[in-house]
Chains A and B, each alone.
Chain A
């Protein structure tokens, strides 16, 4: 059984429908990429899994239905989320931001904190700094760290490289790969940066205007002419 099973998912912002009949599975222990341009529905998919938008259809985590649940309950069931633009608490320190992430996994706080600081050593010296005064890269690290503090079985990372320098993108890619290899954590990542997504993910889904256009193993899609034309210009 896949860790995450999405069947015929539709998502709505008020009257506007943003996702149309999305069905896909995420296997345990994998890194899966969702790519697509602005408005393709990538972030909506993440928000749908987290219970932040109205949906129809089914989203199951290890057979347990997530649709209709509050975000806090989805987190408790084992889904961590590092959203686009981080959504940190700007007047709280890095340390306190991470501790908020530990609210649903209090017994794991020390272990998770040590894992996060090991993964992102830059944060050690900055743990008392307010996140509102940090660089984009540091905020992204805190965002991923906060999601890891929830002791997730599935980590959702929404556009982690947006507005970041290539060096920071590499640091984040390295951290996510290390997490997956060393802990077996399943990661679902959305990206407009196709190269970044393909460098990490073993399987790619391509979204376009709220629909799933293309799916397959990364190596196969790399040579797909439709994808090459759309994203690599040849």
Chain B
């Protein structure tokens, strides 16, 4: 039971970090950014290249990976999303295609074999018979710090309130003096940066591969559908439900079934509560 509690808590923090950038974009732009998983892949590969190939310091690798993620988010908004002018279906299809194109780019540069991303922090600790890797512990703590910072930013700063305002009523925000274009650009950059950080942590927890964007995308979609698309707090709570559920299934039933229960949860919530457990389309 201790193992389920500790590992569930750590995995949930990571899942929350993965989902929150996806939620942010949907809330503000009403866009299901299906290329979101590609930010994670991009961030992880940039970090891998800089730290394990060029032997740069880990902190520099992380900062540059975040910068690349933010740039990717900004470029996607400027070159794709803005030009498609609110056509949700076209945006969703094109973002999915973009993810596949980025995957091909990664295969071209790094080939298609899986790679091990060395732990960001080495070492293990044993607590009550449970092995805790310092890497996942760091990922979890960092996730919570980042999520706490993001929630503070959204709730208590002028720009955060502007982001909330755009997510709830674009016209209301415009006539209040909010520069909605600036808010959109910033939101896509934050989403890209969050995806890149999550990607580094996720790859160090699992592995690096060109198809690694699919699983985090499924996690993000699962968290926001079950939580209620657009609700950051709902997403954080559901990330814990899914994280604990996956660890419980792995521990008590079988690791091969952990994803199946997540899918069943999505279907169940869609049928019974289509707006999600905390469903309302705002931050």
Please list the residues of chain A having a beta carbon within 8 angstroms of any beta carbon in chain B: 50, 52, 70-72, 75-76, 81, 83, 86-92, 96, 99-106, 146-147, 149-150
Distance from A46 Cβ to chain B, minimum over Cβ atoms (Å): 9
Cβ contact within 8 Å between B158 and A75: no
The stretch from B95-103, B138-146, B170-178 touching chain A is B170-178
Cβ contact within 8 Å between B175 and A91: no
Which B138-197 residues sit within 8 Å CB-CB of chain A? Answer: 158, 161-162, 164-165, 168-169, 171-181
Cβ contact within 8 Å between B169 and A104: no
> Does B246 touch A at the CB level, under 8 Å?
no
For A150, what are the chain B residues with a Cβ–Cβ distance below 8 Å? Answer: 176-177
Complex CA gap A73/B31 in Å reads: 26
Distance from B153 Cβ to chain A, minimum over Cβ atoms (Å): 14
Q: Beyond A72-B180, A88-B169, A91-B168, is A99–B161 a contact (Cβ under 8 Å)?
A: yes
Please list the residues of chain B having a beta carbon within 8 angstroms of any beta carbon in chain A: 158, 161-162, 164-165, 168-169, 171-181, 280, 282
Q: Which 3 A-B pairs have the closest CB atoms?
A: A104-B177, A87-B172, A75-B177
Cβ contact within 8 Å between A100 and B173: yes
For B158, what are the chain A residues with a Cβ–Cβ distance below 8 Å? Answer: 99, 102-103, 106
A sample of 24 cross-chain residue pairs with beta-carbon separation below 8 angstroms, ordered by A number, consists of A50-B175, A52-B171, A71-B174, A71-B177, A72-B179, A75-B176, A81-B175, A83-B171, A86-B172, A87-B171, A88-B169, A89-B165, A89-B173, A90-B168, A90-B282, A91-B168, A91-B282, A92-B165, A100-B161, A100-B162, A100-B178, A102-B158, A103-B161, A103-B162
Cβ contact within 8 Å between B176 and A101: yes
Complex CA gap A103/B164 in Å reads: 13
Complex CA gap A87/B170 in Å reads: 9
Complex CA gap A54/B161 in Å reads: 28
Cβ contact within 8 Å between B177 and A103: yes
For A103, what are the chain B residues with a Cβ–Cβ distance below 8 Å? Answer: 158, 161-162, 176-178
Cβ contact within 8 Å between B169 and A87: yes
Complex CA gap A81/B171 in Å reads: 11
Cβ contact within 8 Å between A52 and B174: yes
Distance from A76 Cβ to chain B, minimum over Cβ atoms (Å): 6
Q: Beyond A99-B161, A106-B158, is A92–B176 a contact (Cβ under 8 Å)?
A: no
For A147, what are the chain B residues with a Cβ–Cβ distance below 8 Å? Answer: 175
For B165, what are the chain A residues with a Cβ–Cβ distance below 8 Å? Answer: 89, 92, 100
Complex CA gap A87/B176 in Å reads: 10
For A87, what are the chain B residues with a Cβ–Cβ distance below 8 Å? Answer: 169, 171-172, 175
Known: A75-B177, A90-B282, A91-B168. 4 other contacts (CB 8 A): A50-B174, A72-B178, A87-B172, A92-B164
For A72, what are the chain B residues with a Cβ–Cβ distance below 8 Å? Answer: 174, 177-180
Distance from A109 Cβ to chain B, minimum over Cβ atoms (Å): 9
Cβ contact within 8 Å between A96 and B175: no
Cβ contact within 8 Å between B174 and A100: no
Cβ contact within 8 Å between A71 and B175: yes
Complex CA gap A155/B72 in Å reads: 41
For B181, what are the chain A residues with a Cβ–Cβ distance below 8 Å? Answer: 70
Complex CA gap A224/B168 in Å reads: 44
